[in-house]
Amino acid sequence: MAAFEYTALTDAGRKNRGTLEADSARAARQQLRARGMVPLEVAPATESSEVGAKLFSGSPGLSVKHLALLTRQIATLLRAGIPLEETLGAIANQTRNHKIRRIVLAVRGKVLEGHSFAQALGSFPRAFPKLYRATVEAGEHSGHLDAVLERLGDYTENQQQFRQKVQLALIYPMVLVVVCVLVVTGLMVYVVPDVIEVFTGTGQVLPLATRILVALSDFISAWGWLVPPALIALAVVIVLLLRRPAIRYRFHHRLLDVPVIGWLVRGAQSSRYVGTLAILTGSSVPLVQAMGIAGGVMNNEFLKERLQRAQKTVREGGSLRRALEDVEYFPPMMIYMIASGESSGTLDQMLHRAAESQERDLQGAVTAFVSLFEPVMLLLMAAVVLFIVVAIMMPILSMNQLVV
């Protein structure tokens, strides 16, 4: 029995959209007619269907919050001994979120057709990320799907909490940036030209700072409207260039060596890699296979290529510590903890500890960076306003000296 998206007319002539389970599209239409509705469109509930495409186009599928909640629900019911298809049916029946219900019913339909849970989730790649699907597949192979889903729930909730913390911390600085840009633009377009016109009418030679201010004011007045479109066009060009594998590879390589930003990127990538390894190896996935899956979820092409070499090293009998040392971009403390786990036979536990330690360091660094952003913006705004004031006051002081 599969899930189908439908659009139908009710007795009152209103369009009704929803999801139902049926053996075929024809059976779905019969169900709709039995309910007194006229079916207009019926299609399998997948992202490739027409209705599904309309539903998912331009959206990420599920928010991190909803994904974490759904994962928790599935893990709880599975741990209670309820079969997977019944678990999905129960979640679909009790949820009030129409998008979640559609997705869960579609996944349940795939499972009933004989697909694995991970394959069923693959029908909705925007709702379930690659790491999520790979971890679920590992849990199915190991026979500990409920435990793996609980770990995924913890991981997803931690990511959501950290993301919310950063977003809340960035609200005030971003508002400050917008206000600063609007205020400076208003001064340069409406105030500065009228003030400077008084000095230019006297015929005196204006100071350098004042001439710079006049040039900036003239440019903003004449061409300022082109700046936003130019920035958008530049962003589009950069995105198109980064779609080329060779350019993206070089860019990701150079990004790792940029001060501050490179450190943050290295920390985030190493934390993601080791955290994924910890989840997979803890689910009884062989280390070599876990390294392949963990490397696949990396979004830095240069590091991904280096980690493929590390996987080859481990496959040939090398240690994980030596393989990650050869990558050259993993923190020394993380390497030391992994080496300690290998020598003591507690690699799974040490991978978890290393991932948690790196995550704490990364979150602390990001929090500190965001906290510094606000005073830096205040200083920049004060410097811009000071420059405008000085550029206006210098001709006034020059005129006073001429009078004296």
What pTM did the predictor assign? 0.67
Tokens of 151: 């770990």
Q: Where in the chain is the domain with CATH 3.10.20?
A: 2-56
Tokens of 160: 């959501």
Low-confidence winner among 33-37, 77-81, 310-314, 349-353 (lowest mean pLDDT):
33-37
Confidence class for position 201, pLDDT limits 50, 70, 90 = low
Residue that wins the pLDDT comparison between 48 and 364:
364
Q: What is the mean pLDDT of residues 265-288?
A: 82
Mean pLDDT of the chain: 81
Confidence class for position 236, pLDDT limits 50, 70, 90 = very high
User: Distance of CA 174 to CAs 171, 181, 378, Å?
Assistant: 5, 11, 11
CB 315 within 8 A of CB 339: no
CB 303 within 8 A of CB 329: yes
Tokens of 70: 């759904």
Multiple choice CATH, 172-404, 1.20.81.30, 3.50.50.60, 1.10.10.10, 1.10.150.20: 1.20.81.30
Q: Where in the chain is the domain with CATH 1.20.81.30?
A: 64-157, 172-404
CATH 3.10.20 fits 2-56, yes or no: yes
Q: State residue 54's pLDDT score.
A: 41
Tokens of 239: 């995105």
Query: Dihedral through CA 217, CA 219, CA 221, CA 224, nearest 10?
Result: -120
Confidence class for position 50, pLDDT limits 50, 70, 90 = very low
Confidence class for position 56, pLDDT limits 50, 70, 90 = very low
Please list, in sequence order, all residues whose beta carbon lies within 8 angstroms of the beta carbon of residue 43, skipping any fewer than 6 positions away.
4, 5, 6, 25, 49, 50, 51, 52
- Candidates 128, 140, 117; CA nearest to 67 is 128
| Model confidence at 397: pLDDT above 80 | no
Q: State residue 302's pLDDT score.
A: 92
Q: Please name the fold of domain 64-157.
A: Receptor-associated Protein (1.20.81)
Nearest-angstrom CA–CA distance, 370 and 366? 6
**What DSSP letter does each residue of 306-370 carry, written as one string?**
HHHHHHHHHHTT--HHHHHHHH--S-HHHHHHHHHHHHHT-HHHHHHHHHHHHHHHHHHHHHHHH
| Model confidence at 45: pLDDT above 70 | no
Q: Which range is most confident: 3-17, 179-193, 297-311, 358-372?
A: 297-311
